[in-house]
Structure 1
Amino acid sequence: MENLNSIKKRIKSVNDIGQMTNAMQLVSSAKMRRSLMLHDSVYPFYSLCAQSMHAIRNTMDDISNPFFILPEKKQGETWKIGAFVLSGDQGLAGAYNNNMVKITEEHIRSKILDNTRKGLSTEYKLYVFGKLAREKLMRSGYDVDPEFSFPIAEPNFYQARNVSHIIKRKYLMGEFDLVYLIYTRMESASNMVPVAVRLAPVDMKSVTSILPKNTDMSKHPAGNFENMDFLPDPDKVFDFLIDTYFNAVVYGAMVDAYASEQTARLTAMDNATKNADEMIRKLQLISNRARQAKITNELTEIINGAQQADNI
């Protein structure tokens, strides 16, 4: 049986860890509530923008906007893919960052295998938010841009606008044929789903899949688009909507990722606190047994000493 003093030291260290994880749980809880409020405030704007894009897309047959044209590749040609991965800057969030690395690796491998079956080559570049996933992907040998660095904590619309500007510039310059956003979508406080959404060219199917389930894409608050005039012309309106759409999607993804990270950290710290409490309870039982054993040994020694004294 362990020494009583060493058990007491273990109880103290576990108790200290439990207090730390409990404090982190409270901090994560406050951050999660703020992130959920931010999350809920973003989606009405995002939904309206997506509905507008969907309505105009269905109304107009001849859209020449480059962000809606999916290039065609012949056998032997190369698909150039850019993936923007939204992970966390800090650890102690359970398997959150590892899951982001895993979904990124699976997405890249699936694209390479699919293109290989079609006789096409694949070039890719990863742009990673958060240092943990970036470092792990770089160690694994993936092509990660080391100069791209955006914090995921406390996302704001200005950051999203800067990121969307980078995406649009690289796409229009021909650096990429496809651009994906890889992040964790928060469906509820207990359900977070990693997703890979094609951002450019615009894929309306992907857009509708990440909207709230009760969103009706067939109806628009502005009414029927078929008899509507676009001034100065539809292309100008579409250019403006594209810009707003990119900003909204990137911002929505950043908010989703931040809320998911805080929820994952809250869950991890809650589990850690419960495990610390359970470990303290077990150590206290061991401590009680050790103390009883010590008392029994001392009593036994006293009785044996008394018996020996009587025999003298």
Structure 2
Amino acid sequence: MATLKDIRTRIKSIKSTQQVTKAMQMVAAAKLRRAQEAALQARPYAEKLKEMLGSLSTKVDTSLNPLLSAREEVDRLLVIMITSDRGLCGAFNTNIMKLAQKIMTEDHAALHKSGKISMICAGTKGYDFFRKRDYNVIKAYPGVFQELKFDVAREIAEQAAGMYLKGDVDKVVVVYNEFKSVLAPNLRSEVLLPIAPEAAAEEVSSSSDYIYEPSPASIIDVLVPKHLNTQIWRMMLESNAAEQAGRMAAMDSATENAKELIRQLNISYNRARQAAITTELSEIVAGADALSGD
């Protein structure tokens, strides 16, 4: 049975931990506000680019642009996975890594067995996980979320597009956490390449009618790289916001658990203290009875 000193030491230790988790929760809440604003501001621009691409795809021969042309067979796959650089954010990283594994080992099992799946990992956690399991990680960006930069998103998009154009991969999938709410992120897997202009065209309002100069074909060649850069950047911003939300929720849960644990330990401490006092009183009474009997 734990002594009173042991219980006091444990209560003190948990209170110290509670202060840390409370501070981390407040820091995550402050970062979440900024990350959420950045993610929400990026959405309209990305959606408008997608809308313009859909409108253009109805006016030009999409087969003229290789990034808009789907391959008949997918023999090689590139998976871009976006995770966090740090932990203590609940199941944020675990869920996204499970989804990435499912896509590679179940949805594309034949390619996985033949070693025809490559990975680009943005974030330390995902890179460490798949590197230790001997997955083909061709490029990693650890520490990318310490200071988010658009240049990194552009580099990832350019590398993916270059591999697709060279024929090194036939399909590019991005796996990430989309910011949905503070309570839970939205696990997403999106096909980055080939770009599906039909899907983008479906989102274009029937009332939308644009006049393009110099020509739709020349504009689409400029618009496609911008679209890829913007999509990767948006996904990184979404993931960053979802990470901060996950960390805030995890630290709030840890703080509440510490509070409950301290309450239970205080009850145990009071019971142990009461038992010790009762024992001492019993010994005093027994001693007094023994003396009076003499």
TM over 0.5: yes
Which whole-Å deviations, capped at 9, do the CAs of 1:219-255 have from their partners, x for residues lacking one?
Answer: 57xx413xx2430x32220011101101110000000
Query: Distance in 2 between the 1:188 and 1:217 partners?
Result: 27
Query: Distance in 1 between the 2:199 and 2:148 partners?
Result: 23
- The secondary structure found in structure 2 opposite 1:197 is strand
The alpha-carbon deviation at position 72 of structure 1 amounts to 1.5
Q: What does residue 212 of structure 1 align with? A: none
Unaligned runs of 5+ in 2: none
1:279 aligns with 2:272: no
Q: What does residue 220 of structure 2 align with? A: 238
Which whole-Å deviations, capped at 9, do the CAs of 1:207-228 have from their partners, x for residues lacking one?
Answer: 699xxxxxx53257xx413xx2
- The secondary structure found in structure 1 opposite 2:174 is strand
Q: What does residue 13 of structure 1 align with? A: 13
- The secondary structure found in structure 2 opposite 1:59 is coil
Query: Distance in 2 between the 1:102 and 1:81 partners?
Result: 17
The alpha-carbon deviation at position 41 of structure 1 amounts to 0.8
- 4+ long deviations beyond 4 Å: 146-150, 204-209
Q: Does the C-alpha gap of structure 1 residues 283 and 113 become closer, same or farther in structure 2, counting only changes over 3 Å? A: same
Q: Is the 8 A contact 1:88 1:97 kept in 2?
A: yes
Residue type at the aligned position of 1:10:
R
Q: What does residue 249 of structure 2 align with? A: 267
Q: Is the 8 A contact 1:55 1:218 kept in 2?
A: no
Query: Distance in 2 between the 1:121 and 1:235 partners?
Result: 38
Residue type at the aligned position of 1:218:
S
The alpha-carbon deviation at position 61 of structure 1 amounts to 4.2
Q: Is the 8 A contact 2:178 2:187 kept in 1?
A: yes
Q: Does the C-alpha gap of structure 1 residues 34 and 91 become closer, same or farther in structure 2, counting only changes over 3 Å? A: same
Query: Distance in 2 between the 1:97 and 1:88 partners?
Result: 7
Query: Distance in 2 between the 1:126 and 1:206 partners?
Result: 25
Select the residue among 218, 243, 247 that pairs with 2:205. Answer: 218
1:72 aligns with 2:72: yes
Query: Distance in 1 between the 2:199 and 2:56 partners?
Result: 17
1:198 aligns with 2:191: yes
Bigger mean CA offset, 190-199 vs 270-279? 190-199
If the length of structure 1 is used for normalisation, what is the TM-score? 0.87
Unaligned runs of 5+ in 1: 210-215
The alpha-carbon deviation at position 265 of structure 1 amounts to 0.8
The alpha-carbon deviation at position 63 of structure 1 amounts to 4.3
Query: Distance in 1 between the 2:166 and 2:28 partners?
Result: 41
- The secondary structure found in structure 1 opposite 2:71 is coil
The alpha-carbon deviation at position 198 of structure 1 amounts to 0.8
Q: Is the 8 A contact 1:197 1:206 kept in 2?
A: no
Which whole-Å deviations, capped at 9, do the CAs of 1:31-71 have from their partners, x for residues lacking one?
Answer: 11110010111111111101101111123345410111011
Query: Distance in 1 between the 2:143 and 2:39 partners?
Result: 19
Q: What does residue 120 of structure 2 align with? A: 127
The alpha-carbon deviation at position 95 of structure 1 amounts to 1.2
- The secondary structure found in structure 2 opposite 1:145 is strand
1:90 aligns with 2:86: yes
Residue type at the aligned position of 1:9:
T
Q: Is the 8 A contact 1:112 1:122 kept in 2?
A: no
Bigger mean CA offset, 106-115 vs 26-35? 106-115
Task: Name the structure with the higher helix share.
Answer: 2
Instruction: Report % sequence identity.
Output: 28
Residue type at the aligned position of 2:83:
S
Q: Is the 8 A contact 1:155 1:251 kept in 2?
A: no
Q: What does residue 292 of structure 2 align with? A: 310
Query: Distance in 2 between the 1:96 and 1:283 partners?
Result: 31
Query: Distance in 1 between the 2:28 and 2:201 partners?
Result: 30
The alpha-carbon deviation at position 2 of structure 1 amounts to 2.0
Task: Tell me how large the CA RMSD over aligned residues is.
Answer: 2.3
